[in-house]
DNA sequence: AAGCTTTGCGCAAAGCTTTGCGGAATTATA
DNA sequence: TATAATTCCGCAAAGCTTTGCGCAAAGCTT
């Protein structure tokens, strides 16, 4: 049995006063005499008193705790978003408790339920890939529990969200290829259900049109974001009678899987096929050739999400859901060097 | 103002019975009549009652919450350890609240203090790189708060720890080089203060001796685990009058920085200089040449740490600290192919 | 000196749960 | 039928904190 930490009662008994007096003294209430106040604060300091958050939580219905649900804890993308959330949460006195949905709809519901049972003050999350029904958020919305989605979102009119401008990013990539002299630009997209997939496809198509290139069905392939599936998608593209001269992968895993497959088939990058991915700095610079990629402002996504939470948590009345759109950055490296004339 | 969730009081009032009766009914206490029990449970179900963990925490002095402190949230190594912790913690009804020490001693103390104020049931952590004093753990030890260190440890006789067999791993790498025909084997080590650094150096030296190779001071260089510092360390090695033909980097960042620097200087891997790192699968397979490396059982480290916590949390009396040593795996890839005769 | 205002502190309730004990009503016993 | 034994439920305390209200003692006024 661990001994209980010092409480108001400990202090009160030690000083032979009531708990209310101790409580007031600690908060410098004018009702308490200066000498007593000093004595109390001194003892509190000495005994390292710190108010019990459980009692405070009970009183105020506030735990200063944010539930964070991500599809996956290991991926650099999510890890650094969590890092961003953690930083601003801590700066504002909040703790974060983390759960992974493992991209599963069932697990996502479980996590949500568990965190609510824990009485978190709000939820910051990214939808699981499987999730197509959104009824499990009704309870939160009804209870006006602060909720923030990032990256993968739904019900954007009801929930605060932070996303990146996927269309713009996809347009920029496509244009970048075009300007480099590439004309058969393929796109390995993600699952059709994800909003990020749709937006990037739209941007891709918009840019093709703007560049005067036709949209060829066969140059748009889907994968489920796994390595195997991305590899298969690449193979489908390369098996085309008229294969693409540029590939734009929808994310990290996809881009690297594509790169490996290209190398395996003896194709040179970018001479035979140029490549661009959505990925993060460390990976992109370590491969050969270095990978041109759209960098997500991951830490900022997390920070912004936490700020949106705080905004809701502090508001007296439930504020209108705000949408934050962050811009990405296209970092040009070797894998998309201009085509030699 | 969010409305309060349903409590025993809600149910009690709805059924015109006392809260104690509701409480007993929910736990199938024999004192309560079967019909009433049924009615109570039905209503509880319907209203989605779930006991308030704050009240329970107050009562039992238990929050079912584990504080996790890592030096860095973004690194794959820590991210996947967290993933392991999360999994077994959740399986056993615990939540984890995460903090990053940013490798800072000051921050580490802050995190520790904050988590204790939060009344976590225990702490699982990895020491910050800066941390050299360990007095801030006295309070935990005195209060018998379950504490588990992983990877970087201290006070191993007092605290449960989970580590990998660094000596063995270093020996294996060195032997692997030797068997491949390499004779001037260098080691880029980490900060001398870290136990992992020391252990790997010892293993390195043991294996050199076992292979009948001399230990040359100049082939052992230190870095602080940053990219810049690892690059500089590599440069020092390559500037040697008699440069090494094999390099063994102390971790992820180091190995890749070394690889980049080797390439930059136009050296071929492994023909001119072979390379082995401590790293994780994804990175290692994506680079060119693929990197031979010692793989940490990261998820297992996390799982094992959580199990050690549970062991302490469940023990009636404070158990003797247990040391878990996990074995690593040397995955041979292209960067250390045998030297052609 | 009698009455009024301050000053300084304690009581108790609320927030939620569990649990020992007591008590009323019902049933069984003599 | 009066008494003993069940049966079934409520009171209250404990765990910790805050806060409205009350109360005693001290200070002040005239």
Averaged pLDDT for residues A58-64 = 94
Q: Which of B5, B54, B118 sits opposite A95 (nearest CB)?
A: B118
Averaged pLDDT for residues B309-334 = 92
Say what percent of chain A tops pLDDT 90: 82
Planar angle of CA B193, B194, B195, nearest 5 degrees = 115
- Give me the pLDDT at residue B261, please: 94
Note the strand C nucleotides within 7 A of protein beta carbons: 7-12, 14-21
Q: At a CB cut-off of 8 Å and minimum separation 6, what does A61 contact?
A: A119, B2, B4
Q: Is the CB of A3 under 7 A from strand D?
A: no
Pair B309, B148: CB distance under 8 Å: yes
Adjacency order of strands within the sheet including A220-222: A220-222, A185-189, A246-249, A274-279, A292-295, A329-331
Minimum-distance residue to D13 (CA–C1') = B59
State how far the Cα of A18 lies from the Cα of A8, in Å rounded to an integer.
9
For A274-315, the DSSP string reads EEEEEE-HHHHHHSSSPPEEEEP-HHHHHHHHHHHHHHHHH-
State how far the Cα of A169 lies from the Cα of A187, in Å rounded to an integer.
13
> A52: how many CB neighbours lie within 10 A of its CB?
21
Q: Which two tokens stand for residue A36?
A: 């007593």
Averaged pLDDT for residues B173-185 = 96
Query: Which nt is closest to the CA of A33, judged by C1'?
Result: C8
Averaged pLDDT for residues A161-176 = 95
> B314: how many CB neighbours lie within 10 A of its CB?
10
Q: Is the CB of B51 under 7 A from strand C?
A: yes
CA gyration radius for chain A?
Answer: 26
Q: Which helix (H) or strand (E) holds B279?
A: strand B274-279
Residue among B253, B279, B309 at smallest CA distance from B84: B309
Nearest-by-CA chain B residue for A56: B54
Q: Is the CB of A26 under 7 A from strand D?
A: yes
- Give me the pLDDT at residue B281, please: 67
Averaged pLDDT for residues B264-279 = 92
- The more confident residue out of B191 and B69 is B69
* Confidence check: pLDDT of A252 > 80: no
- The more confident residue out of B262 and B253 is B262
Query: Which nt is closest to the CA of B12, judged by C1'?
Result: D10
Domains of chain A: 8-51 (no CATH), 61-164+298-328 (3.40.50.2300), 166-296+330-336 (3.40.50.2300)
Distance A33 CA to D27 C1' (A): 15
- Give me the pLDDT at residue A226, please: 87
Averaged pLDDT for residues A104-109 = 97
* Confidence check: pLDDT of A65 > 90: yes
Asked if B90's CB is within 8 angstroms of A98's CB, the reply is no
State how far the Cα of A78 lies from the Cα of A305, in Å rounded to an integer.
13
Asked if A54's CB is within 8 angstroms of B143's CB, the reply is no
Pair B82, B98: CB distance under 8 Å: yes
Burial class (CB in 10 A: 0-12, 13-18, 19+), B192: exposed
* Confidence check: pLDDT of B97 > 60: yes
pLDDT band for position B155 (cuts 50, 70, 90): confident
Distance B17 CA to D5 C1' (A): 25
Q: What is the pLDDT of residues A261-305, one digit of tens each?
A: 999 999 999 999 999 998 776 778 878 888 999 999 999 999 999
The DSSP code for A100 is E
Q: What is the pLDDT of residues B139-149, one digit of tens each?
A: 888 888 999 99
Look at the block and give the residue holding tokens 């001119």. B272
How many beta-carbon contacts under 8 Å exist across A and B? 125
The CB-based long-range contact list for A40-49 (8 Å cut-off, 24+ gap) reads A40/A11, A40/A15, A43/A11, A43/A14, A43/A15, A44/A11, A47/A6, A47/A10, A47/A11, A47/A14, A48/A6, A49/A6, A49/A7, A49/A8, A49/A10, A49/A11
Listed range (A113-117, A154-158, A160-164) with the worst mean pLDDT: A154-158
Q: Is the CB of B229 under 7 A from strand D?
A: no
Averaged pLDDT for residues A118-130 = 95
Q: At a CB cut-off of 8 Å and minimum separation 6, what does A298 contact?
A: A76, A77, A80, A81, A83, A84, A280
Distance A36 CA to D28 C1' (A): 24
Task: Quote the mean pLDDT of chain B.
Answer: 93
* Confidence check: pLDDT of A1 > 70: no
Q: Are strands A329-331 and A292-295 parallel, antiparallel or unpaired?
A: antiparallel
* Confidence check: pLDDT of B2 > 90: no
- Give me the pLDDT at residue B125, please: 98
Residues in chain A: 341
3 state DSSP class of A171: helix
Q: Which ranges in chain B belong to alpha helices (H)?
A: 8-15, 19-26, 34-46, 53-60, 76-91, 105-117, 138-143, 166-179, 195-211, 227-238, 252-264, 281-286, 298-314
> In the beta sheet, which residues pair with residue B277?
B293
pLDDT band for position B252 (cuts 50, 70, 90): confident
Phi, psi values for residue B314, rounded to 5°: -90, -20
Helices A8-15 and A19-26: angle between axes, nearest 10 degrees? 110
Q: What is the pLDDT of residues B11-53, one digit of tens each?
A: 999 999 999 999 999 999 999 999 999 999 999 999 999 999 9
- Give me the pLDDT at residue B196, please: 86
Q: Is the CB of B209 under 7 A from strand C?
A: no
pLDDT band for position A45 (cuts 50, 70, 90): very high
């Amino acid at each position: 049995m661990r001994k209980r930490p010092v409480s108001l009662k400990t202090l009160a008994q030690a000083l032979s006063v009531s708990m209310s007096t101790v409580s007031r003294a600690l908060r410098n209430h004018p009702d308490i005499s200066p000498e007593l106040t000093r004595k109390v604060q001194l003892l509190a300091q000495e005994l390292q008193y710190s108010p019990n958050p459980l009692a405070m939580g009970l009183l105020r219905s506030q735990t200063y705790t944010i539930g964070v649900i991500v599809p996956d804890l290991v991926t650099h993308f999510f890890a650094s978003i969590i890092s961003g959330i953690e930083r601003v949460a801590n700066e504002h006195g909040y703790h974060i408790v983390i759960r992974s949905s493992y991209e599963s709809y069932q697990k996502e519901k479980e996590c949500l339920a568990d965190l609510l049972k824990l009485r978190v003050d709000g939820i910051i999350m990214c939808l699981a890939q499987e999730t197509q029904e959104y009824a499990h958020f009704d309870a939160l919305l009804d209870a006006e529990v602060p909720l923030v989605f990032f990256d993968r979102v739904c019900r954007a009119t009801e929930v605060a969200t932070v996303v990146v401008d996927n269309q713009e990013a996809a347009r920029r990539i496509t244009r970048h290829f075009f300007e480099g002299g590439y004309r058969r630009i393929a796109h390995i997209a993600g699952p059709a259900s994800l909003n990020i997939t749709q937006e990037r496809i739209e941007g891709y198509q918009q840019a093709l049109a703007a560049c005067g290139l036709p949209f060829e069905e066969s140059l748009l392939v889907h994968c489920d974001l796994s390595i195997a599936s991305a590899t298969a998608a690449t193979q489908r593209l390369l098996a085309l009678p008229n294969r693409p001269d540029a590939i734009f992968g929808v994310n990290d895993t996809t881009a690297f899987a594509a790169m490996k497959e290209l190398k395996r088939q003896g194709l040179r990058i970018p001479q035979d096929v140029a490549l661009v991915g959505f990925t993060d700095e460390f990976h992109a610079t370590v491969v050969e050739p270095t990978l041109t990629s759209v960098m997500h402002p991951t830490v900022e996504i997390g920070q912004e999400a936490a700020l949106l939470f705080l905004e809701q948590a502090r508001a007296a009345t439930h504020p209108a859901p705000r949408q934050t759109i962050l811009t990405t950055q296209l970092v040009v490296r070797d894998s998309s060097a201009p085509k030699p004339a």
